[in-house]
A = this chain, B = another copy of it.
Amino acid sequence: MLNQESYVILGDGCQIKGISNEAASLAGHWGLGKLIAFYDDSRISIDGDTEMPLLRTLTSVSKLLDGMLSVTTTIVYGSPNKANSYSVYGAALGEKEVEATRNNLGWPYEPFQVPDEVKGHWSRHTPKGSALESNWNATLAYEKKYPEEAAELKCELPAGWEKALPTYTPESPGDATRNLSQQCQQCLNALAKVVPGFLEINLRFGVREHGMGAICNSIALHSPGLIPYCATFFVFTDYMRGAMRISALSESGVIYVMTHDSIGLGEDGPTHQPIEHIASFRAMPNTLMFCPADGNETAGAYKIVVTKRKTPSILALSRQKLPELPGTSIEGVEKGGYTISDNSSGNKPDVILIGTGSELEIAAQAAEVLRKEGKTVRVVSFVCWELFEEQTDEYKESVLPSGVTARVSIEAASTFGWGKIVGGRGKSIGINSFGASAPAPLLYKEFGIIVEAVVDAAKSLF
């Protein structure tokens, strides 16, 4: 079992959140050694005095700990009128009370003035720190003699590491992207020396999604060389969305491997079928939302997310088997959106069909139908909106020429947000209600996420 020293800072509010129980039960189960808590016992939470309305669960928590320092603290110590009161939790003291507090504490210094005594205390440590730093840098002279080992020590990705990723052709048998994702992980794991920080250790979190996300944040933030990925059903991001937002906000490059990406999961029914989730993450800042369509796109996503150490990534992966599509590529995924096929011979196509994930196949099939009827059709994979957004205007125009207003998008999810891509004339095929429990092909038919719907929508625009 893990046996590193762990310190926990506990406030009054912390203990009543569900995530604390998830983390505490994992700590107990994993037998974490030297778990030491500092408990800031101010008896004030944002919901008021903790004595009265809130159950204080400290006693039960303390059984898990090897040591606990409980400090009975006073919130806004020294403030003559507001110390120990809830009113200071969410509001500044104000100029008058700050003045009264300074007088009360006998603090004569100007705002932001550090007293010499304090400065002296800290600067005493500067020579010691400088010596330690020089020493470390001298040790790193090692780097010149053993560059490969040094790169590994610093968890740097050496050139060409991405060659470890699998590639596929349309002749490959095809699979669920959740399985193709595992193939990528296995390739990276087998080459742990190539991607040194990619975590091979499998932590079993149970169904503690919120705790899982938070722990992965800590792993990623511990060092940029550690690359954690965690997995659950896509719909259960609802349980760990708080941790995922912290990934984005604190620039923690966690890889969220989210399987069962749509109604295509079938019989588990609407409680397990994501609808609004893709849109909800496309709207979240500093978050990459990938919907890979096959093996090449899954490998392409891994190529990117492993290097994105300051941005969390979400991979929405299918449970159902998908074919390898002609035209998909790792290089295409790096652009976020790209053309996988076009029979317009360099001219403007009659229509652009835009698909993501499992629906890229449907777009490709609809294109075949329309082409047989003499139409020129472009098929675009829109695997990661955020990466497409980062491309030059020229590139974007080359994929989605503004002169082509006949556009149809297809994605087995909420159509929310697609208006910007398909434009005022365009059509979006998706699902804006909850799903149902049935085999995937039946559900796709029932909700109209089918080739015929794409063909009809395209024809309505000619």
Binding site for B on A (CB under 8 A): 13, 16-22, 25-26, 28-29, 45-48, 53-55, 57, 60, 90, 92, 204-208, 210-211, 236, 238-239, 241-242, 245-246, 248-249, 267-268, 270-271, 275-276, 279-280, 282-286, 414, 416-421, 423-424, 432-434
Contacts and interface: CB of A to CB of B under 8 A. Distances in A.
Pairs of residues from A and B, 4 with the lowest C-beta to C-beta distance, nearest first: A18-B18, A419-B420, A21-B21, A280-B280
Contacts of A249: 270-271, 434
Nearest to A269: B249
Contacts of A424: 423-424
B280 A276 contact: yes
A13 B238 contact: no
A276 B416 CA distance: 13
A434 B280 contact: no
B414 A416 contact: no
Contact of A54 (B16, B21, B46, B206): B206
Contacts of A55: 25-26, 28-29
Most chain-B CB neighbours within 10 Å: which of A19, A21, A211, A282? A21
Contact of A414 (B204, B248, B283, B419): B283
B57 A25 contact: yes
Contact of A47 (B17, B28, B47, B206): B206
Contact of A206 (B45, B245, B267): B45
Nearest to A233: B46
Nearest to A426: B424
Given A25-B57, A207-B16, A279 B285 contact: no
Q: How many copies of the chain does the oligomer comprise?
A: 2
Given A18-B21, A238-B241, A276-B285, 17 more contacts: A13-B206, A17-B239, A18-B211, A29-B53, A29-B54, A29-B55, A45-B206, A238-B242, A248-B434, A249-B270, A279-B283, A279-B417, A283-B283, A283-B417, A286-B433, A417-B419, A418-B420
Contacts of A239: 17-18, 241-242
Nearest to A267: B92
Contacts of A433: 285-286
A75 B396 CA distance: 53
A77 B434 CA distance: 32
Contacts of A47: 204-207
A418 B419 CA distance: 8
Contact of A13 (B53, B207, B283, B416): B207
Nearest to A418: B420
A60 B423 CA distance: 57
A95 B13 CA distance: 52
Contact of A286 (B206, B267, B416, B434): B434
A322 B29 CA distance: 51
A231 to B, nearest CB: 11
Contacts of A276: 280, 283-285
A18 B208 contact: yes
Contacts of A20: 18, 21
Given A238-B241, A249-B271, A434 B285 contact: yes
Contacts of A423: 423-424
Contacts of A90: 268
B16 A17 contact: no
Nearest to A27: B55
Contacts of A286: 433-434
A437 to B, nearest CB: 12
Most chain-B CB neighbours within 10 Å: which of A13, A16, A423? A16
